[in-house]
A = this chain, B = another copy of it.
Amino acid sequence: MPGNTFGTLFRVTTWGESHGPALGAIIDGCPPNLSLTEKDIQNELDRRKPGQNDVGTARKEGDKVKILSGIFNGKTLGTPISLIIENKDQRSRDYSKIKDLYRPGHADYSFDLKYGVRDYRGGGRSSGRETVGRVMAGAIAKKYLKQGWKTEITGYTTQVGPIKAQKFEKSFIEKSSLRCADPNQSKKMEEYVLGAKKDGDSVGGIAEFRVKNTPPALGEPVFDKLQADLGKALFSIATVKGVEFGKGFESALLKGSENNDELTTKAGQITTKTNNAGGIYGGISIGTDLILKTAIKPASSIIKKQQSVNNKGKSVDVQVEGRHDACILPRFIPVAESMIALVLIDHALRQRALEDNN
Contacts and interface: CB of A to CB of B under 8 A. Distances in A.
B251 A354 contact: no
Given A15-B26, A125-B79, A231-B232, A260 B300 contact: yes
A275 B169 CA distance: 38
A161 B252 CA distance: 6
18 contacts: A3-B220, A6-B223, A15-B80, A32-B115, A72-B118, A76-B117, A79-B221, A110-B281, A110-B284, A199-B255, A203-B256, A231-B231, A242-B242, A258-B298, A262-B306, A263-B307, A265-B315, A352-B357
Interface stretch (A48-56, A173-181, A233-241): A233-241
A358 interface: yes
A68 B1 contact: no
Interface string A32-47: 1100000000000000
A151 interface: no
A184 interface: no
Contact of A251 (B204, B254, B263): B204
B283 A238 contact: yes
Q: How many copies does the complex hold?
A: 4
A24 B68 contact: yes
Among A249, A307, A313, A357, find the residue whose CB has the most chain B CB atoms closer than 10 A: A249
Interface range on chain A: under 10, 10 to 19, 20 to 34, or 35 or more? Answer: 35 or more
A98 interface: no
A179 B184 CA distance: 45
A250 B115 CA distance: 31
Contacts of A349: 353-354
A100 to B, nearest CB: 13
A105 B4 CA distance: 35
Give 4 nearest A-B pairs by CB, closest first.
Answer: A107-B282, A3-B220, A3-B224, A2-B29
Nearest to A11: B2
A308 B231 contact: no
A296 B252 contact: yes
Given A297-B251, A297-B259, A284 B114 contact: yes
A292 B275 CA distance: 26
A182 interface: no
Given A265-B309, A270-B309, 5 more contacts: A1-B220, A130-B222, A236-B283, A241-B245, A352-B355
A306 B203 contact: no
A316 to B, nearest CB: 9
Given A31-B356, A264-B307, A306-B257, A249 B72 contact: no
A141 interface: no
A254 B111 CA distance: 25
B356 A353 contact: no
Nearest to A119: B72
A159 B252 contact: yes
A203 B70 CA distance: 32
Contact of A109 (B205, B238, B270): B270
Given A117-B33, A242-B242, A28 B2 contact: yes
A73 to B, nearest CB: 8
A126 B221 contact: yes
B109 A281 contact: yes
Given A115-B32, A220-B2, A241-B251, A82 B282 contact: no
Given A72-B124, A356-B148, A246 B241 contact: yes
B231 A264 contact: no
